[in-house]
Amino acid sequence: MSLLEIKNLKTSFTTEQGMVQAVRNVSLSVDEGEIVGIVGESGSGKSQSMYSVMGLLSENGIIEDGSIVFDGKEICPIKFDGTQKEWEKYMESIRGNTISMIFQDPMSFLNPVLTIEKQLIEPILNHRKKLNRDQLHTMAVELLTRVGIPSPAERLKQYPHQLSGGMRQRVIIAIALACSPRLIIADEPTTALDVTIQAKILELIKDMRKNLGSGVILITHDLGVVASTCDRVYIMYGGKIVESGTADEIFYEGVHPYAKGLLACVNNPEVDDNELRPIPGSPPDLLAPPAGCPFVDRCEHAMKVCKLYWPKEKSLSDTHKVHCWLTEKGSI
Amino acid sequence: MEPILKVENLKTFFPVATSMFGKKKYLKAVNDVSFEVFENETFGLVGESGCGKSTLGRTIVKIYEPTDGKVWFEGKDVSTIKGDELKKFRKDAQMIFQDPYASLNSRMTVGEIIREPMDIHDLYPTSKEKDEKASELLEIVGLKPDHIRRYPHEFSGGQRQRISIARTLALNPKFIVCDEPISALDVSIQAQIINLLEKIQEERNISYLFIAHDLGAVKHISDRIGAMYLGSLVEVGESNELYRNPLHPYTRALLSAIPIPDPHLMRNREIAAIDGEIPSPLNVPSGCAFRTRCPMAMEVCAKDTPKLRKVGNSQVACHLYD
Amino acid sequence: MEDIKLTADLFEPLSEEEKNSEFIAAKSKTYLQDAWGRFKKNKLALAGLAFLIVMTVLAITVPMFSPFEYDLMDLTSVNLMPSLLHPMGTDKFGRDIFVRIMYGARISLSVGFASAFICLFIGIVYGGIAGYVGGKVDMVLMRIVDIIYSIPTLLIVILIMLIFGSNIVSILIGLCATAWMGMARLVRAQVLSLKEQEFALAAYVLGASKMRILFKHLIINCMGPIIVNVTLMVPSAIFTEAFLSFVGIGISAPAASWGTLANEARSLIESHPIQIIWPVASICLTMLSLNFIGDGVSDAFDPKKK
């Protein structure tokens, strides 16, 4: 059984303009010891589907349908066995404990008036209450060492603003690791960082998986990041998953025009003067998403059927799945 | 050939408040930078955040005044121009900003935004002509003419960046500073913007100073690239040459850290990443600023500041090539 | 998933015209329309607005069309209880209280709104220049504000009333002499934070003049907090005027402001308590509705701050 199994998740947001259908029928799974990438543009629903898992949707967001099974237990609020209060209590008990999240912007996540140590031991205090001060301190030092922060004992006494951007992101990762979570959701953890630091943080995420055996979900829009870290990849577009497979399948045998288009428009500096073939247009407006494939308006192979119907999932191998009418084209 | 832009020993320092009786401290954002940009050329500028590349770009378009050194634009010293000449400089030298959410006035419609430069410089006599020109510009950047009455917040990041490109094009400039125009955008949109900038360059003979922290994108669009570290240029070279044969250890580190969308390649790649992070520009290390993180630092690096000079086909500031 | 009948023609390629990728679904709304949409949802604020409109219309029309003048004394009908002819009764000189209250509304409301708009104008110009020019100019301008701020408001108002006499103009001058400074400080702080934003820099690089940047870009973008501040200034001006008139240094009889009316009715509080209820209720209800409006406006213009 998978560590996390999402089936047909549907999440919407009520706004003044109408319902924004952010996540539409998303199914995905993550195993222990696996790094899974979710790739998509901003507004493709990749972050919102994970916020749905964490129970962190903003007030106007609701899960309309679907099931989320984490570690054998249903945690989707509409299917949860118990009242809303009990669900909230349960989510509190697993958040930061068995599931933890790494956010994009390290500065807004850390509390500026608390020392690094206070913030680091908070999840431990919340979830593992039987430790004394010395044990907590040793744990905090250990955590900072694990994420590669030099002279951890001094750093613990400092405040967030005294650290550089890369250091803060390491602290956030340390906080996420505090309770040895089984699933780590990293939401664009390196987008705000320089490439030199990004490489180190990605190494750290890979080490984490190796040492803890946790499952990792890495949300990103950068295929380069995925190539260097992920085992499996889900490509999301317009609130739907359009293709999924192992990293090799997606990068070398990609089928969906969006997945292929993403690769074609990334500059590969290994090649001199390679031509960039951008995907034309802009992502669909999810206030009124197209009935068929959300990518239809930007797709160079778009057909009449694409505008009308959403294609069924087609399995190309045990791991490689795609939703695209092009795969059916020959059979009619 | 005369360069369109020539930067000579440019220094931009910002005074930092210190204790009342202490010596006045300066944040040396740009420290002795010289380079040239020729007509129809794209000069790329890369470096980690905080290396002074944006300050350099802003000094060139006179948002900041230089502390020392000169900026020559079409043979004129930019710091002394006034009146009509300044107005002409404002028309010829433009800037595209990093954050597409902050660089457009959210209370103005797209039409008003694109018309503003025409209003300022009295480019077209009638309101109708201005509107027509604005629609035409919108189409050039791939948006629809009927978007003219909408407000910026209704657009996505990439669309907004295209609107701000349309705004600068209204002036038909000769030179544009592109200050990280793609780093806030999605990958699929980044390529659109880069291609758009290249297309415009071809059609209108514009020179770019393209600032970014992502060497991959910079390499694609640039003819020459300068790598910047703590306010100084450490290496300048033709872009393919710089990528194939980086001389400065910092350039090498930057290159090896670029994530490449190719899993096989990434799995077997050695990352020559450098340790630590960029020091504060308030306390620049003595000698070569990079020596504190350099894997090949020598004794001499702490003593002498290396000067940019020709090595092979590139210019580099490093004692390894003494 | 429903069964779809797939035919070959469905697999024809889609023409470029059929693609619609730069499509925006939401209806375009201006900033003010957006704010009005949020304001409308606040029922209390709407009620406040309705009350204020009714009050304004009555204040304009009642003294115009009523058979009684506000200062018409009729010693044959003093201290009457409310009746059809005199909806709020008459006072100790036989003047119609309803007309006097509405006449007072004219004074109170115009003092409130006029002072708010004068302060708005001075504050925007003064604060805008201080914030945008910055440096020494900012230093000098803000120190002047600090100095004036250190003198108590009431002292300034009373001094001005003593010099210029107790009439509506001197009340306005007195109120504005101090109230503009809050607006100036607000505008300065907003402009300071906005002028480093990229849209302001972009306008600068385009060659826009300082005036254009300040008014077309910076001030327009701090309109939200400015409008909120104005709606809160109106009730405070009305209150100050009523207070001054009540203690006897504001508008003096026979002219009637709500404060004056309350002061006159004070002496009859034991024999005819109803007479003091009218001006006090007018002040209270107006205050309350203005504060509701202020609340609604601040939610409407700043939806994140809750």
Identify the residue among A230, A266, A273, A275 best suited for mutation to test binding to B, counting B beta carbons within 10 A and taking the highest.
A266
A65: which strand partners?
A: A10
pLDDT per residue over B209-232, tens digit each?
999 887 878 888 999 999 999 999
What is the per-residue DSSP string for B21-70?
A: TSPPEEEEEEEEEEEEE-TT-EEEEE--TTSSHHHHHHHHTTSS--SEEE
* Yes or no, beta carbons of B215 and A227 under 8 Å apart: no
Report the DSSP pairing between strands B93-96 and A321-322.
Answer: unpaired
Chain A 282-321, CB below 8 Å of chain C: which residues? 282, 284-285, 287-288, 296-298, 301-310, 312
The answer to whether C11 contacts A325, with C-beta atoms less than 8 Å apart, is: yes
CB contact under 8 A, A304 and C6: no
Mean pLDDT along residues C191-195: 92
Rounded Cα distance between B236 and B246, Å, is 10
Sign of the four-CA dihedral B127, B129, B134, B138: positive
Dihedral (CA of B131, B132, B133, B136) sign: positive
**Which residues of chain C does A312 touch, with a Cβ-Cβ cutoff of 8 Å?**
1
Would the CB atoms of B259 and A198 count as touching at under 8 Å?
Answer: yes
B148/B146 Cα distance (integer angstroms): 5
Q: Counting beta carbons within 10 angstroms of the beta carbon of residue B75, is it exposed (0 to 12), middle (13 to 18) or buried (19 or more)?
A: exposed
Phi and psi angles of residue C253, each rounded to the nearest 5 degrees, phi first: -60, 150
Contact: C201, B97; criterion CB under 8 Å = yes
Q: Which residue has the tokens 């999440």?
A: A11
Cβ–Cβ of A17/C7 closer than 8 Å?
no
CA distances from A184 to A50, A69, A106, A206 (A): 11, 15, 16, 12
**What integer is the mean pLDDT of B141-151?**
88
Q: What is the pLDDT of residue B59?
A: 95
Task: Output DSSP code: residue A303.
Answer: B
Backbone angles phi and psi of C289, in degrees to 5: -70, -35
* Contact residues on chain A for C18, CB-CB shorter than 8 A: 302, 307
Give residue B250's Cα distance to chain centre: 19
pLDDT in tens, A161-201: 888 778 888 899 899 888 889 999 999 888 877 887 888 88
Residue pLDDT, tens place only, C10-56: 777 777 777 776 777 677 777 788 888 888 888 999 999 999 999 99
- Residues of A with CB below 8 A from B190's CB? 265
From residue B76, alpha-carbon distances to B61, B68, B79, B205 in Å are 13, 16, 9, 20
Using CA coordinates, name the residue in chain A closest to B212.
A194
Tokens of C85: 């002819």
User: CB–CB of A332 and C7 under 8 A?
Assistant: yes
In chain B, positions 170-209, which contact chain A (CB-CB < 8 Å)?
Answer: 186-192, 194-195
- Residues of chain A contacting C20 with CB distance shorter than 8 Å: 297
pLDDT of residue A276: 78
How many Å lie between the alpha carbon of B193 and the closest alpha carbon of chain A? 9
Token code pair at residue A297: 């308006």
- Which residues lie below 8 Å from residue B162, measured CB to CB, with a gap of 6+? B141, B142, B143, B192, B193, B196
Q: Which residue of C has its CA nearest to A289?
A: C25
Decide: helix, strand or coil at residue B6: strand
Distance CA A245, CA A222 (A): 17
- Closest Cβ opposite residue C22 in set B102, B103, B143: B143
Q: Which amino acid is at C266?
A: R
The token duo for B32 is: 């002795």
pLDDT at C305 over 50: no
Residue C253 has pLDDT above 80, yes or no: no
Write out residues in chain A with pLDDT < 50, as ranges: none
Residue C66's pLDDT is: 77
pLDDT tens track for B88-110? 999 999 999 998 889 999 889 99
- Full strand arrangement of the beta sheet holding B76-77: B25-37, B5-16, B68-73, B76-77
What is the rounded distance in angstroms from the CA atom of residue A216 to the CA atom of residue A181?
A: 10
Residue of A nearest to C28 (CA): A17
Whose tokens are 């909230």? That residue is: A88
Compute the nearest-CA separation of B169 from chain A (Å).
20
Residues of A in contact with C25 (CB under 8 A): 17-18, 285, 287-288
Say yes or no for a CB contact (<8 Å) between A298 and C21: yes
User: pLDDT tens, C204-229?
Assistant: 999 999 999 999 999 988 888 898 88
Q: Please state, in angstroms and as integers, the Cα–Cα distance from residue B181 to each residue in B35, B98, B161, C195, C286, following that order.
A: 21, 5, 7, 20, 52
